Amino acid sequence: MIQPWIHKAKTDLIFIIGPSFFVLAIIFLFQDYITDIEDKYSFYTWLFLIVFIDVAHVYATLFKTYFVADEFRKNKKRLLLLPTICFVVGIILFSFGSLVFWSFLAYVAVFHFIRQQYGFMRLYARNEQKTKFSVFIDNLTIYASTGYPMLYWFFSSKRKFNWFVENEFFKFHNSFLLEMLFWFYLIIILVYITYTIYKSIHNKFFNFPKNAIILGTALSWYFGIVYFNDDLIFTLLNVVSHGIPYMALIYFREIENKTNVNSRVFSYLRSYNAIFIYILILLIIAFSEEFLWEILVWNENISLTTFDFSNWQFLIVPLLSVPQFTHYLLDGFIWKSKKT
């Protein structure tokens, strides 16, 4: 049985499995400089992590949906209706207050991030002989690897980072509950390790990419949320480990995939340096969106306007959130649209 790489061993290790381990290594090597980097280079960390990775990966979805003629025709109603629904829901939520809006979006984002790791795990397990227990323990482990750190966040003392805005999550500090959750988490991990060793010996095969994605997920979520209590470290592990693998998956499966050759966008990409054009398109769109966020809403890293848009936030914020909100919801459908 060969290793079930999504693309190739080298590219999978670098762009899908590797980011979690690479970022974690950088953090441990340079953690003494994290505070200085946050203070002195906050604009560049925002530009690279938030704009060029976090926001950019949202628009990678275009290359599997709106930019693909067959996919758009097949799912036209959904692709047109969903952004409209997101905008309307956003306005309704914002009418109850900005915190209600951002809290709702934060919970949806967490679910989306967790499901992406589940999706990668299932892709790497696609060729395994499955039993009810093997599927159950795989699912339980990936959800524990992401769920325990989030529950720790909810039930621990105040963290120095947010997903979107301060006080977005319901929090209830309970030390006893945290201890119980930790032991449940530890037991699940130990059961998974024991079962994996047994299965690998019995089948004379070790699924390296599947176990690597589970390990990388567990490490990045634990150290990003539980072990460290730092905004930049959380952002690094959260954004890089999520955004880069997603953009890589889209590129490997949708741009190098010859079934999309009927699309003008993909034909154009293949006529030139595809990876460069792909990244350039994502960066331009991402910067354009974030530029609007900055001048119309945040005014933190870029501020060019003297106009006061505070009275229009109930429309501006839901509208600018449409691509992100749509990405969260749409991603739950597009990977089920055809056999992976």
Q: Give the C-alpha separation, 229 to 25, whole Å.
A: 17
Percent of the chain with pLDDT over 70: 93
Q: pTM of the prediction?
A: 0.93
- In this structure, which amino acid lies at residue 313? Q
Query: What values do phi and psi take at 101, rounded to 5?
Result: -60, -50
| pLDDT at position 263 over 60 | no
Helix (H) or strand (E) holding 283: helix 274-293
Q: Give the mean model confidence (pLDDT) for residues 21-41.
A: 91
Radius of gyration of the chain (CA): 21
Query: Which residues are CB-contacts of 38 (< 8 A; sequence separation ≥ 6)?
Result: 45, 230, 231, 232
- In this structure, which amino acid lies at residue 50? I
Long-range contacts of 153-158 (CB under 8 A, 24+ apart): 153/225, 155/181
> Is the separation of the CB atoms in 152 and 181 below 8 Å?
yes
| pLDDT at position 246 over 60 | yes
Where does the pLDDT of residue 271 fall: very low under 50, low under 70, confident under 90, or very high at 90 and above?
A: low
Where does the pLDDT of residue 233 fall: very low under 50, low under 70, confident under 90, or very high at 90 and above?
A: very high
- In this structure, which amino acid lies at residue 245? P
Where does the pLDDT of residue 276 fall: very low under 50, low under 70, confident under 90, or very high at 90 and above?
A: confident
Angle at 111 between CA 109 and CA 115, to 5 degrees: 115
Helix (H) or strand (E) holding 257: none
Amino acid 339: pLDDT: 41
Where does the pLDDT of residue 337 fall: very low under 50, low under 70, confident under 90, or very high at 90 and above?
A: very low
Where does the pLDDT of residue 270 fall: very low under 50, low under 70, confident under 90, or very high at 90 and above?
A: low
Q: Give the mean model confidence (pLDDT) for residues 153-176.
A: 93
Find the helix packing angle between 98-124 and 313-320, rounded to 10°. Answer: 0
**Rounded (10°) CA dihedral 146, 62, 77, 263:** -140
Q: Give the mean model confidence (pLDDT) for residues 149-172.
A: 94
Q: Give the C-alpha separation, 72 to 83, whole Å.
A: 14
Amino acid 32: pLDDT: 87
289: its two tokens = 């969106």
> Is the separation of the CB atoms in 184 and 214 below 8 Å?
no
For the chain, the domains span: 9-334
262: its two tokens = 């009927």
Q: Give the C-alpha separation, 158 to 153, whole Å.
A: 8
Q: How far is CA 81 from CA 61, 64, 108, 144, 321, in A?
A: 16, 17, 19, 34, 15
